[in-house]
Chains A and B, each alone.
Chain A
């Protein structure tokens, strides 16, 4: 018996989707592809329907088996600190760590657990790191200076609400920005976050149904605690002497020293109010224009009577119009076109550790705004979500279980109604393929699957099952029409509800700044896949079963 082209089409889509979803090296993908073509070839020569369904199931089972076995597990090394013990022992970027001291590592928490238990004291430890190809032995008293990442099992990108991270929706205070102004804002923000050391982020412009423009910022993974300040505070830096502006952040700054001997924490001391205070200092270079201005202003200053080492006025540093620090100006600088200036500031905390952290953060923040300059607008965060990354994994597992259980419930009802095991099996197979193809398309277009998208997939399964039942009943109706005509009728009903759903989803793409876009997009992809790929194949499978 020959298989119709519609079933072939479904099969091809299924295979491509799987290859798109699973994170496999290209060569393995090719092998998988070849394997499946082989299986399909066998499929043509199988006579019985039951055999065919059996083989399709074997196919699906082997797919799932492949997902769990063929994907690589372990931790990939993202970077190794130059000349560290780890580097000298031979560890390099791109290697995949599979075990440490014969304990398997699959997740980052596995790794931290082992490392934390080893390095509780300052003693030298022997660490055996097993990578995929080789074994490395380290003798060290500090954790290896490497940055690791878990190997993603699939190419499916998860949204922030599933993998953790933060999302901020930002608009200008008391004014609406046009497209170009938002683009400006985005490039400054990106620059600022890059300087700050954040790279895994996306900043883009979104607008809503009423035509408001927003800047949408998304950061995957852990959220820096000062995110809010970084993106919403204007970061206007001004250095003034006797209320005259000498230089401002951004345009007047030629260079900011961020490491080395001219940058860092100077010292800590107990504060008067309890706790600890630390001071930082870093050097900056001014542009010539700013240096000239400095010379002009200091020229007119006299030498302080109380502190003969310094000038009578101080250099006041303002951030967002609030005085941050006042620095003495050495009398040697009077009237000089100096380009090198040392900026100082402080941080505090309950104990020394906290004070050091706070000081480092303040320094980093100040350096960032000095480099990037101030934002052109006063901003307002209208929405800010930070989702803990911890729950993600558990969450996804629960969603998959819920999805499978829901499908099983559907299959049970179909079985009770039609009393034929093959029909619910075909129905399950179709729904399952639908989800796989939607996921395949999602990974192809790099769509971030978030919670609204999951709801969309659920809607797709729901309408999909509904339409399949229409197909089933039309094909079984005792009407004296040919089976083909009957299935055509089912097609009319299906196209009708397809059109209503497609159009119903459209407003949601932009409503609410597109935060629920995922729902609309996955639903539209899903029902299109359903109507044009899986449903025709299902009709054909049903035809074969009924005949």
Chain B
């Protein structure tokens, strides 16, 4: 039996896979919300506080710095950035809810040299602004999602197929969010932007699939489905290849880009599932029922 035949026989069951995964994800996010009073773990750029990145003159012992900071600023977190090829320590990132005026002297005492605008970068976000910032970014995502949904409805003008596109974009976001929460990633504003990018990438394949299946009349449904499958897989695979390569190459120097690419990688993998299991199956189901109605 060929792949085509297996697919045609079981496509309705295939819907169960993303459906179960979606339910698990929603449940996970719900319990995460119960625990943390929020949908994500936020970094200091979204909770308020200071990030200091030090480009150290000599290697800094991470564990030692951690214990030192533990007494002065217990909520501080310390990470290091190492060169991809060299493995050398390139930067130390310290995040703390303290203000720069409070955090800097503590670090300077430890390092025994002054931190200036050459050997370090400081990013401070006040608590009020960060909350406002976070709320607005979330609003931006919700707006973007609604705009996207409206346009999808305008393009296809049929209820079920439009809904399938929107559902699959929604599932992409929910599943990615669940995995991000599961991995306990602390999101910055860049991370939230990545979700916005995800909406765009996710509907690309869905729109392609839906317009091929709905608007084109040549060949039978299956042929069109499999040809769009080929196109869509190429689209998503190229995107995944690009973001994975970019992730590997930028992770060592930019937290911002690292987070964006990581979230995109996760999201695009879920998009493969949601486009070809969720969206394609719903569409096939819908079109076949329509055809049957027409025959009767």
A positions within 8 Å CB-CB of B: 164, 166, 169, 208-210, 212, 222-223, 225, 380-391, 394-395, 398-399, 401-403, 405-410, 412-414, 417, 451-452, 454-455, 458-459, 461-463, 465-467, 469-470, 473, 477, 479-481, 489, 492-493, 496-497, 499-501, 503-508, 511-513, 515-516, 519
CB-nearest residue of chain A to B200 = A501
Q: How far is the CB of A223 from chain B (nearest CB, A)?
A: 4
Tell me, in angstroms, the Cα distance from A405 to B144 when the chains sit together. 30
Q: How far is the CB of A83 from chain B (nearest CB, A)?
A: 32
For B257, the chain A residues whose CB sits under 8 A away are 399, 402, 451, 454-455
Interface contact B242-A406, CB-CB below 8 Å: yes
Interface contact B254-A208, CB-CB below 8 Å: no
For A489, the chain B residues whose CB sits under 8 A away are 211, 215-216
Q: How far is the CB of B51 from chain A (nearest CB, A)?
A: 9
Interface contact A496-B249, CB-CB below 8 Å: no
CB-nearest residue of chain B to A479 = B218
For A515, the chain B residues whose CB sits under 8 A away are 133, 189
CB-nearest residue of chain B to A508 = B140
Q: A-B pairs with the 8 shortest C-beta distances?
A: A504-B144, A382-B129, A503-B147, A402-B249, A507-B140, A406-B242, A507-B143, A511-B140
CB-nearest residue of chain B to A223 = B117
Interface contact A406-B245, CB-CB below 8 Å: yes
Tell me, in angstroms, the Cα distance from A115 to B249 when the chains sit together. 36
- Residue in A210, A382, A384, A458 whose beta carbon sits within 8 Å of that of B246 in the complex: A458
Interface contact B250-A209, CB-CB below 8 Å: no
Interface contact B151-A405, CB-CB below 8 Å: no
Most chain-B CB neighbours within 10 Å: which of A481, A512, A519?
A512
What is the interface size of chain B, counting residues whose CB is below 8 A from a CB of the partner?
72
- Residue in B155, B234, B252, B256 whose beta carbon sits within 8 Å of that of A496 in the complex: B155
- Residue in A407, A470, A480 whose beta carbon sits within 8 Å of that of B208 in the complex: A470
5 A-B residue pairings within 8 Å (CB atoms): A222-B118, A382-B128, A504-B199, A507-B139, A511-B136
Interface-located stretch among B10-18, B60-68, B190-198, B286-294: B190-198
CB-nearest residue of chain B to A383 = B125
Q: How far is the CB of B47 from chain A (nearest CB, A)?
A: 13
Q: How far is the CB of A449 from chain B (nearest CB, A)?
A: 14
CB-nearest residue of chain A to B199 = A504
CB-nearest residue of chain B to A454 = B257
Tell me, in angstroms, the Cα distance from A506 to B143 when the chains sit together. 9
Interface contact B152-A473, CB-CB below 8 Å: no
Interface contact B218-A412, CB-CB below 8 Å: no
For B117, the chain A residues whose CB sits under 8 A away are 164, 166, 222-223, 225, 386-389
Q: How far is the CB of B225 from chain A (nearest CB, A)?
A: 13
Count of inter-chain pairs, beta carbons less than 8 A: 230
B positions within 8 Å CB-CB of A: 53, 55, 100, 116-126, 128-129, 132-133, 136-137, 139-140, 143-145, 147-148, 150-152, 155, 189-190, 193, 196-197, 199-201, 203-205, 207-208, 211-212, 215-216, 218-219, 227, 230-231, 234-235, 237-239, 241-246, 249-250, 252-254, 256-257, 260
Given contacts A406-B242, A497-B203, A497-B204, contact A398 B197 (CB under 8 A): no
Q: How far is the CB of A391 from chain B (nearest CB, A)?
A: 7
Tell me, in angstroms, the Cα distance from A513 to B125 when the chains sit together. 13
For B155, the chain A residues whose CB sits under 8 A away are 496, 499
Q: How far is the CB of A383 from chain B (nearest CB, A)?
A: 5
For A382, the chain B residues whose CB sits under 8 A away are 125-126, 128-129
Given contacts A222-B117, A389-B117, contact A469 B211 (CB under 8 A): no
Tell me, in angstroms, the Cα distance from A358 to B117 when the chains sit together. 18
Interface contact B189-A481, CB-CB below 8 Å: no
Q: How far is the CB of B80 from chain A (nearest CB, A)?
A: 15
Interface contact A466-B124, CB-CB below 8 Å: no
- Residue in A407, A455, A465, A506 whose beta carbon sits within 8 Å of that of B193 in the complex: A455
Q: How far is the CB of A216 from chain B (nearest CB, A)?
A: 12
Interface contact A384-B55, CB-CB below 8 Å: no
Q: How far is the CB of A401 from chain B (nearest CB, A)?
A: 6
Tell me, in angstroms, the Cα distance from A299 to B207 when the chains sit together. 86
Tell me, in angstroms, the Cα distance from A463 to B208 when the chains sit together. 12
Most chain-A CB neighbours within 10 Å: which of B121, B256, B260?
B121
For A380, the chain B residues whose CB sits under 8 A away are 126
Given contact pairs A391-B253, A473-B234, A512-B136, enumerate 14 new A-B contacts (beta carbons under 8 Å). A209-B136, A383-B129, A385-B121, A388-B53, A406-B245, A451-B256, A455-B257, A455-B260, A466-B204, A479-B216, A481-B218, A489-B211, A497-B207, A501-B200
- Residue in A208, A388, A470, A505 whose beta carbon sits within 8 Å of that of B120 in the complex: A388
Tell me, in angstroms, the Cα distance from A395 to B234 when the chains sit together. 31
Most chain-A CB neighbours within 10 Å: which of B212, B246, B253?
B246
Interface contact B241-A394, CB-CB below 8 Å: no
Q: How far is the CB of B163 from chain A (nearest CB, A)?
A: 15
- Residue in A399, A402, A414 whose beta carbon sits within 8 Å of that of B234 in the complex: A414
Tell me, in angstroms, the Cα distance from A473 to B100 when the chains sit together. 54
Interface contact B196-A504, CB-CB below 8 Å: yes
For A473, the chain B residues whose CB sits under 8 A away are 227, 230-231, 234
Q: How far is the CB of A173 from chain B (nearest CB, A)?
A: 11
Interface contact B238-A469, CB-CB below 8 Å: yes
Q: How far is the CB of A528 from chain B (nearest CB, A)?
A: 14
Tell me, in angstroms, the Cα distance from A238 to B26 when the chains sit together. 61
Q: How far is the CB of A468 from chain B (nearest CB, A)?
A: 9
For B204, the chain A residues whose CB sits under 8 A away are 463, 466-467, 497
For A496, the chain B residues whose CB sits under 8 A away are 151-152, 155, 207, 211
Interface contact B148-A462, CB-CB below 8 Å: no
Given contacts A406-B245, A466-B239, contact A499 B137 (CB under 8 A): no
Given contacts A384-B122, A462-B239, A462-B242, contact A503 B234 (CB under 8 A): no
Q: How far is the CB of B182 from chain A (nearest CB, A)?
A: 24
CB-nearest residue of chain A to B45 = A383
Interface contact A381-B126, CB-CB below 8 Å: yes
Given contacts A455-B260, A463-B201, A503-B151, contact A210 B132 (CB under 8 A): yes
Tell me, in angstroms, the Cα distance from A377 to B143 when the chains sit together. 35
Interface contact B123-A385, CB-CB below 8 Å: yes
Tell me, in angstroms, the Cα distance from A519 to B190 when the chains sit together. 10
Interface contact B238-A465, CB-CB below 8 Å: yes
Interface contact B140-A406, CB-CB below 8 Å: no
